[in-house]
Amino acid sequence: MDVTSIGWLTLPLAILGGAIRVSTPFIFVSIGELITEKSGRINLGLEGTLMLGAMAGYGVSYLSGSPWLGVLAAGLAGTTFGLLHGLLCSVKRVNDTAIGISLIVLGTGLAFFFGKPLIEPKAPALPSISLGFWSSMPQVRAALDVNALFFVGILLAFAVYVFLNRTGWGLMLRTVGDSEDAARALGFSVLRVRILATMAGGFLAGIGGSFLSLSYPGSWSEGLSSGQGIMAVALVIFARWRSINALGASLLFGGAGALGPALQGVGVTGYYYLFNAAPYILTLAIMVASTSRAAPFADAPGELKLHR
Amino acid sequence: MTAPQVELKNMTKRFGANLALNNVSLLIRSGTVHALLGENGAGKSTLVKCLVGFYHPDDGHIQVDGREHRLNSPKDADALGIGMVYQHFTLVPSMTVAQNLVVSGARLPAYINWQSELKRLAEVTKKLPFHVPLDVRVSQLSAGEKQKAEIVKQLYLGRKLLILDEPTSVLTPAEADEVLGYVRSLTRAGELSAVLISHKFHEVRRYADDVTVLRRGASVRTGAVANLSDDALAEAMIGEPVSKAVQHAPKLPPKSNIVLSMKQVSVNGDNGLPAVKDLSLEVREGEIVGIAGVSGNGQLELVETLMGQRDRSGAIAVSGVAFNGTRREIARLGVYGLPQEPLKNACIDRMSLAENLALRNFDRAPLCRGIAMNYGALTEQAAKLVKQFRVKAPGLTASMSALSGGNVQRAVLARELTQNVRLLIASNPTFGLDFVACEETYRRIVEARNGGAAVLLISEDLDELLGLVDRILVMSAGRIVHEVSADGADKRVIGKYMAGMKAA
Ligand SMILES: Nc1ncnc2c1ncn2[C@@H]1O[C@H](COP(=O)(O)OP(=O)(O)OP(=O)(O)O)[C@@H](O)[C@H]1O
Ligand SMILES: [Mg+2]
């Protein structure tokens, strides 16, 4: 292979570009899940919300001509699903894990059903911001063509950090998630906080879904999501329930996910499937390496339980 | 005068078929401390939880300064300046003390500037006679510090009526004195009225003006403390005259074989720093060894290590066999324990009482046959234990968290002491127990000892230790700093070693 002056840069650039692209939905879904879990509930249904968001976003963008309206619609669809999850789980003896899994099926099913007529038409996609303008090299420009939602995601991570640590509502959310007794003793409405947190989580997951269908090149198909909604749950644990960590974890995950295609791009085609498994292997490795008995999960919400 | 007069009238509260409060009336005079006494499960906590709006009474009225109020939630009580330190802590474990203080304020701040907020909190808490670190996570505080943090929180919120539900059970006598003395001085100054729930008569006598005794959910005696003798109070509590002479089984001299041996054991605390340092000790068959010390000097870590909950360096052997706390070793070597905060450390709060009573032996016959559980045998065992140890509970299938504090303790005691105990590790086993249950626990520990078990008793109550043990070790800063046989023990000397002073 002929090594040009840009050659040594191609691989890291491709990985960086891929990382940004792949990580964006992860950022939204994992931070949404983080907010829900901080209230002491787990919503495993975000995979369904993600698909619903992708479909709703694409559909509204197509009908209205505005991708941002599509993003909003995706968020609202997600909020509705969050509300559904929140209400169902508030009924005594209903288990949030089971509801979550049934919502995956429901969300995906609804998305496929209403999405049928959307496979053909072309909806306007979200704008991207070109950070590679300074370079004349097309590889650089392509890699640094960053979707606007990515920046929103970064802001979101910091905003959620501030919310959880520096606002009264954030502290209330953490109280409800960490100790129901404490919350009740302070007179907080545990159910209301949990429902709102699940709605907020759904909103963000819906937006994450809209990225899948509305980012360049933009299309709707039934194979859009490859389990991001489920991986987000692991990401939250991996991020130890901290939003900034979740941002970092999403990027890392995105980078690992971009490894396979990037290597293929520079001509390394062997072990393609093995490299595609990189994010999962990486997660496992880091999880094992970073767990320790001496430093337990200090930020893990105490009320987060599998059975209730 | 700002201290309110609060009156509870004809309060009744049912939990299912269980009548927890039966027509109880209570008058808390302005600027006084009103004590509530009663056996475990008498309804003390239930009564005060109704007063803060945590429970809703089925019947009854609450009047504050003569005006009737309905309290639907703790927020309503908060608005009236009524606050409570719960028996089971209600601080948020993953948040710092400062965050806990802020989130408990009447109005949640939109944005918190921690720098100025911390300064303000430090300002406010500086006036209190005791201190808790503001920027430490609650989960890293010791039980005593948590209790103080709870009290700081209530005082910070500017309560007019302060309810303390067994505040001193996890405090050392000196700390208890600090806390209650301060509350007392506030009531004297007319700034506060208070309700004090306690099992300790001397505290009631020292810090309370009035006292009400509850028995099985009913108020059976009320009056000024000065007019009631300890005997009269005790009699009202249990409903029959108390037999004075408590018969401890006579002590037999310990045998010579060593049951527990620890050699140069070091353990790290949650913060990663060494909490137990190079500790060596031995406990013989038929001997009770007491560990005295101020809480937070490594006792908790020591107990958790012995129960197999913590990594350590150094050697631990039970009856000459290396011990690492696996379930098989525990059963084979007969190592059992009564940990502190039993609801958290020895129970699964959402499982039923019967299931909790079977945690030690559910995997053995007769509770299991092959791989199947035998629920008949499980219930039968639970019924037997509940009867034998007089555990008061809404029912065998009631969730563990529905039991009163003292009864959780009894249930754990019942489960652990009915195993084949060779080594018993008891950590503050009488925290929160009424005096009848205390005596019962002492008797059972001595019985276990006389049955040949080795007992390691960790306690902050020096009188309790001196009354029970054969030998006392004093623990300070993670080390054993003093050892003396119980006969030759001098409380003053031990106290000095506890306080960390070298020479006595
Ligand atoms: N949430 C609940 N559900 C069902 N029963 C309950 C609940 N809380 C308390 N009880 C029952 O009400 C009775 C009174 O309990 P309470 O906690 O008021 O006792 P207490 O006097 O505070 O005892 P202790 O000294 O052990 O703390 C007990 O029989 C208890 O089992
Ligand atoms: Mg109680």
pLDDT tens by residue, B287-305: 999 999 877 788 889 998 9
Q: Which two tokens stand for residue B91?
A: 């601080």
Same-domain check for residues B365 and B282: yes
**CA A83 vs CA A87, A94, A177, A200: distances in Å:** 6, 15, 17, 9
Task: Answer for the pair A34, A236: CB distance below 8 angstroms, yes or no.
Answer: yes
Question: Is the C-alpha dihedral spanning B358, B360, B363, B365 positive or negative?
Answer: negative
The answer on B446 and B319 residing in a single domain is yes
> Quick check: CB of B430 below 6 Å from ligand 1?
no
Find residue B8's DSSP bridge partners.
Answer: B26, B62
Are residue B154 and residue B204 in the same domain, yes or no?
Answer: yes
Q: Do B215 and B324 belong together in one domain?
A: no
Other CB atoms within 10 Å distance of the CB of residue B436: 17
Q: Which residue has the higher pLDDT, B146 or A52?
A: A52
B13: left (phi over 0), alpha (psi -120 to 50) or beta: beta
Q: Is residue B480 within 8 Å of B474, Cβ to Cβ?
A: yes
The first and second tokens of residue A237, run together, are: 């644990």
Helix ranges, B70-142 (H):
74-79, 97-103, 114-126
Q: Return the structure tokens found at B51.
A: 């007063």
Give yes or no for a contact between B221 and B455, defined as CB atoms under 8 angstroms apart: no
Percent of chain B with pLDDT over 70: 97
Q: Final residue of a domain: which of B238, B267, B287?
A: B238
Q: What is the DSSP letter of B243?
A: P
In the three-class reduction of DSSP (H, G, I as helix; E, B as strand; rest coil), residue B224 is classed as strand
Q: Do A186 and B103 make contact, defined as CB atoms within 8 angstroms?
A: yes
B344 CA to centre of ligand 1 in angstroms: 17
* DSSP 8-state symbol, B427: E
Number of domains in chain A: 1
Q: What pLDDT score does A2 carry? A: 43
The pLDDT, as a whole number, for residue A223 is 85
Ligand 1 near B42 CB (within 6 A) = yes
Q: How far apart are CA A60 and CA A121, in angstroms?
A: 12
pLDDT at B384: 94
Full residue range of the structural domain in which residue B380 is found: 258-498
> What residues sit around ligand 2, an ion, with C-beta below 5 angstroms?
B 45, 87, 405
Q: Output the pLDDT for position A4.
A: 47
- pLDDT at position B142: 77
A76, A52 contact by CB (below 8 A): no
Residue B40 pLDDT greater than 90, yes or no = no
Is the CB of residue B394 less than 8 Å away from at least one CB of chain A? no
A131, part of any domain = yes
State the DSSP H helix or E strand holding residue B205, giving kind and residue range, or none if neither. Answer: helix B201-207
* CB spacing of B94 vs A181 below 8 angstroms: no
Is the CB of B20 inside a 6 Å radius of any atom of ligand 1?
yes
CATH number of domain containing B120: 3.40.50.300
Cβ-based contacts of A173 with chain B (< 8 Å): none
Q: Report whether pLDDT(B1) > 60.
A: no
Residues of A in contact with B92 (CB under 8 A): 174-175, 178-179, 182
Tell me which H or E stretch contains B491: helix B491-498
Closest C-alpha among A20, A300, A254 to residue A154: A20
pLDDT score at A199: 97
- pLDDT band of residue B82 (cuts 50, 70, 90) is very high
Given a cut of 70, whether residue B36 has pLDDT beyond it is yes
Domain assignment present for A229: yes
Tell whether B278 and B380 lie within a shared domain.
yes
Chain A contact probe: residue of B78, B89, B90 with most A CBs at under 10 A = B90
- Give the domain-ending residue among B238, B267, B296: B238
3-state secondary structure chain A: CCCCCCHHHHHHHHHHHHHHHHHHHHHHHHHHHHHHHHCCCCCCCHHHHHHHHHHHHHHHHHHHCCHHHHHHHHHHHHHHHHHHHHHHHHCCCCCHHHHHHHHHHHHHHHHHHHHHHHCCCCCCCCCEEECCCCCCCHHHHHHCEEEHHHHHHHHHHHHHHHHHHHCHHHHHHHHHHHCHHHHHHCCCCHHHHHHHHHHHHHHHHHHHHHHHHHCCCCCCCCCCCCCHHHHHHHHHHHCCCCHHHHHHHHHHHHHHHHHHHHHHHCCCCCCHHHHHCHHHHHHHHHHHHHCCCCCCCCCCCCCCCCCC
Closest residue by CA, ligand 1 atom 3 = B402
Looking at residue B178, its pLDDT comes to 86
Atom number of ligand 1 nearest to Cα B49: 18
Least confident of A245-254, A268-277, B16-25, B436-445: A268-277
**Residue A164 backbone class (left: φ over 0; alpha: ψ -120 to 50; beta: rest):** alpha
B314: left (phi over 0), alpha (psi -120 to 50) or beta: left
Same domain? B331 vs B226: no
* pLDDT above 80 (res B191): yes
What is d(CA B453, CA B392) in angstroms, rounded to the nearest whole number?
Answer: 28
Tell me the pLDDT of chain B averaged across its residues: 88
- What contacts B396, CB < 8 A, 6 or more positions away? B352, B353, B354, B379, B382, B383, B386
With b for 16 or more beta-carbon neighbours within 10 A and e for fewer, the A197-214 pattern comes to bbbbbbbbbbbbbbbbbb
B250 located within any domain: no
Q: What is the CA radius of gyration of chain B?
A: 23
Asked if residue A107 lies in contact with residue A47, where contact means CB atoms within 8 angstroms, the answer is yes
Are both B25 and B157 inside the same structural domain? yes
CA gap B164, B170 in Å, rounded: 13
The DSSP output letter for B422 is: S
CA triple B339-B341-B345, angle to 5 deg: 60
Which residue among A171, A298, A300 sits closest to B99, beta carbon to beta carbon?
A: A171
Higher pLDDT, A269 or B114: B114
- Is residue B366 reached through a cis peptide bond, with omega within 30 degrees of 0 on the bond before it? yes
- The pairing of strands B372-373 and B161-165 is unpaired
Q: At what angle do helices A243-265 and A148-166 cross, to 10 degrees?
A: 160
B138 and B264 within one domain: no
Ligand 1 atom closest to Cα of residue B39: 25
Give first-to-last CA distance, chain A, whole Å.
60
Is residue B231 domain-shared with residue B285, that is, in the same domain?
A: no
B13, B45, B84, best to mutate for ligand 1 pocket (most atoms within 8 Å of CB): B45
| Total length of chain A | 308
**For chain B, first and last CA: distance in Å?**
47
pLDDT in tens, B378-396: 999 999 999 998 888 888 9
Q: Do A167 and B112 touch (CB under 8 A)?
A: yes
Pairwise CB contact (< 8 Å): B90 & A182: yes
SS3 B210: strand
- Residue-by-residue pLDDT tens, chain A, 308 positions: 444 445 667 778 888 888 888 899 999 999 999 999 999 999 999 999 999 999 999 999 999 999 999 999 999 999 999 999 999 998 887 888 889 999 999 999 999 999 998 888 888 888 888 887 777 777 777 777 888 899 999 999 999 999 999 999 999 999 999 999 899 999 899 999 999 999 999 999 999 999 999 987 788 988 888 888 888 888 888 888 999 999 999 998 888 888 877 777 777 777 777 877 877 787 778 777 766 554 556 778 888 865 44
The pLDDT assigned to A198 comes to: 96
Amino acid in the structure at residue A184: R
Q: Tell me if residue B284 falls in helix, strand or coil.
A: strand
Check CB contact of B94 with chain A, cutoff 8 Å: yes
Q: Which of B58, B404, B430, B433 is the best mutation target for the ligand 1 pocket, counting ligand atoms within 8 Å of the beta carbon and taking the most?
A: B404
Q: Using a CB–CB cutoff of 8 Å, tell me whether B104 touches chain A.
A: yes
For residues A181 and A214, give the distance between their C-alpha atoms in angstroms, rounded to a whole number.
44
Neighbours of A164 (CB within 10 A): 20
A201: domain CATH number is: 1.10.3470
Residues in chain B closer than 8 A to A294 (CB atoms): 268, 270, 272, 311
Q: Does an H or E element contain B59, and which?
A: strand B59-64
Residues B466 and B355 in one domain: yes
Question: B251 falls in which pLDDT band (50, 70, 90)?
Answer: low
On chain A, the residues whose CB falls within 8 A of the CB of B344 are: none
**Any B CB within 8 A of A306 CB:** no
Question: Measured between CB atoms, does B90 come within 8 Å of chain A?
Answer: yes
The answer to whether residue A308 is domain-embedded is no
Q: Residue A168: give the domain boundaries.
A: 3-291+298-303
Q: How many CB atoms lie within 10 A of CB A146?
A: 18
Instruction: Give, in order, the Cα–Cα distances in Å from B387 to each of A7, B336, B447.
Output: 81, 21, 18
Total H helices, total E strands in chain B = 17, 22
- Whether B206 and B279 share a structural domain: no
For residue A3, the model assigns a pLDDT of 42
Domains held by chain B: number: 2
Pick from B292-296, B326-330, B413-417: least confident: B292-296
Backbone angles phi, psi at B316, to 5 degrees: -125, 130
CB of B407 shorter than 6 A to ligand 1? yes
Residue B324 in 3-state DSSP?
coil
Q: Is the CB of residue B416 less than 8 Å from the CB of residue B307? A: no
| Nearest CB partner across the interface for B88, out of A169, A171, A181 | A181
